[in-house]
């Protein structure tokens, strides 16, 4: 991507493992054909780090993956770009990661690789926001940038089993995993990534599994009644997803159904109604 004048906004991520797609520049377009982003994937050499502890093995260096997600809309002048960079933060970074995950989903399908995953914010060694000319960004360079260190988000405290306690219960056989739990996690991921058609279909499967697996638990009778009431509208949304995008109303309905599935599964794990 080149431009005679102006600079472009970008998100840049460094990680210590292969991203998946081969090195290169990947152009992305909107449904109307207009270019929206260029994603640049590079493998860089990384120098070895100095030995820090006596007797510890030295870091032999190796490769570093770098991905630069470039907003290929109208270029900005230097002043506007600097103002954007001063105000930009986690939201802009999340938008860049969402764009990257569209590339990774396409790679997963093109490579027919079931183990190819998505990128999570926590996996980055370094996360940057910045800007540069088209030539700079196409080569993974930034005119100006700032790093955004990872900080765990503040979350409300919930009355639920600590992950460590549930893990021990599952490993020792005091609790058993449900298929619905894994299906609900996959549905949540699809929904969070705006893979709406896949989410609608996955939530229907998770709902059916939850109804079947939770039915023997008399304590969950009220929650099961709610899940059964969700079955018809969720099935309609899944049917719509087979032919195209479900409506906004249908998507809102399946999102609410997924919340009820998750709540029922949490209640079951805690032994509550």
Q: Give tens-digit pLDDT for 28-81.
A: 998 888 999 999 999 987 555 555 545 444 454 566 899 999 999 889 999 999
Distance CA 124, CA 121 (A): 6
14 and 64 in contact (C-beta within 8 Å)?
A: yes
236 and 212: one domain? yes
Q: Tell me whether residue 98 is in a domain.
A: yes
Classify residue 145 by burial, with Cβ atoms within 10 Å: 0-12, 13-18, 19+.
Answer: middle
Q: Which of 180, 21, 186 is nearest to 101 (CA)?
A: 21
Last residue of one domain, picked from the residues 147, 178, 193:
147
Q: Tell me whether residue 123 is in a domain.
A: yes
Q: Tell me whether residue 118 is in a domain.
A: yes
Q: Order of strands, edge to edge, in the sheet holding 144-147?
A: 24-29, 35-46, 62-71, 8-15, 126-132, 144-147
pLDDT at 19: 86
Dihedral pair phi/psi, residue 196, rounded to 5°:
-70, -40
Last residue of one domain, picked from the residues 92, 116, 147:
147
pLDDT at 3: 44
**For the chain, what is the domain count?**
2
35 and 135: one domain? yes
The residue written with tokens 């860089």 in the block is 44
Last residue of one domain, picked from the residues 103, 121, 147:
147
177 and 131: one domain? no
Residues with Cβ within 8 Å of 228's Cβ and at least 6 positions away in sequence, in order, are: 211
41 and 73: one domain? yes
Question: What CA dihedral angle connects 79, 83, 89 and 93, to 10 degrees?
Answer: -30
pLDDT band at 148 (very low <50, low <70, confident <90, very high): very high
Alpha carbons within 13 A on the beta-carbon side of 207: 27
132 and 247: one domain? no
92 and 217: one domain? no
227 and 97: one domain? no
CA distances 51 to 16, 58, 59, 104, 126, Å, are: 18, 5, 7, 35, 21
Distance CA 110, CA 270 (A): 41
Q: Tell me whether residue 3 is in a domain.
A: no
42 and 84: one domain? yes
| Mean pLDDT of all residues in 206-234 | 96
DSSP secondary structure code for residue 16 in this structure: S
| SS3 of the chain: helix, strand, coil, percent, to 5 | 50, 20, 35
Q: Tell me whether residue 70 is in a domain.
A: yes
85 and 117: one domain? yes
Q: Which 3 state secondary structure label does DSSP give 77?
A: coil
Q: Tell me whether residue 2 is in a domain.
A: no
Q: Tell me whether residue 133 is in a domain.
A: yes
Interval 99-130: pLDDT, tens:
999 999 899 989 998 888 888 888 899 999 99
135 and 42: one domain? yes
Q: Residue 266 sits in which domain range? A: 163-270
18 and 128: one domain? yes
91 and 184: one domain? no
Interval 158-205: pLDDT, tens:
444 566 677 888 888 888 899 999 999 999 999 988 889 999 999 999
Q: Where would I find the H helices in the chain?
A: 78-87, 90-111, 134-138, 163-172, 179-192, 196-214, 221-243, 248-270
Q: Tell me whether residue 54 is in a domain.
A: no
Share of the chain above pLDDT 70, in %: 86
DSSP secondary structure code for residue 76 in this structure: B
| Mean pLDDT of all residues in 239-252 | 96
Tokens of 112: 């027919």
How far is CA 19 from its chain centroid? 14
């Amino acid at each position: 991507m080149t431009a005679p004048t102006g600079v472009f906004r970008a998100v840049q991520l460094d990680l210590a493992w292969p991203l998946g797609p081969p090195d290169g520049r990947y152009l992305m377009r909107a449904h109307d054909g207009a270019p929206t982003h260029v994603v640049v994937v590079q493998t860089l050499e990384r120098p070895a780090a100095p030995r820090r502890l006596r007797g510890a093995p030295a870091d032999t260096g190796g490769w570093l993956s770098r991905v630069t997600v470039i907003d290929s809309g109208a270029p900005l002048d230097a002043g506007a770009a600097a103002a954007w960079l001063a105000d930009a933060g986690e939201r802009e970074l999340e938008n860049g990661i969402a764009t990257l995950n569209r590339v990774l989903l396409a790679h997963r399908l093109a490579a027919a690789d079931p183990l190819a995953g998505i990128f999570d914010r926590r996996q980055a060694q370094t996360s940057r926001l910045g800007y540069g000319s088209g030539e700079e960004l196409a080569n993974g360079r930034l005119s100006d940038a700032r790093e955004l260190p990872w900080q765990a988000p503040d979350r409300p405290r919930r009355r639920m089993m600590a992950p460590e306690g549930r893990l021990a219960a599952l490993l020792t056989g005091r609790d058993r995993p449900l298929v619905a739990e894994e299906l609900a996690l996959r549905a949540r991921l699809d929904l969070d990534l705006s893979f709406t058609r896949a989410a609608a279909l996955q939530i229907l499967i998770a709902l059916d599994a939850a109804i079947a697996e939770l039915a023997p638990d008399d304590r969950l009778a009220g929650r099961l009644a709610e899940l059964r009431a969700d079955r018809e509208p969720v099935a309609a949304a899944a049917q719509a997803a087979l032919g195209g995008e479900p409506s906004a109303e249908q998507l809102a309905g399946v999102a609410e159904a997924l919340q009820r599935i998750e709540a029922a599964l949490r209640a079951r794990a805690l032994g509550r109604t």
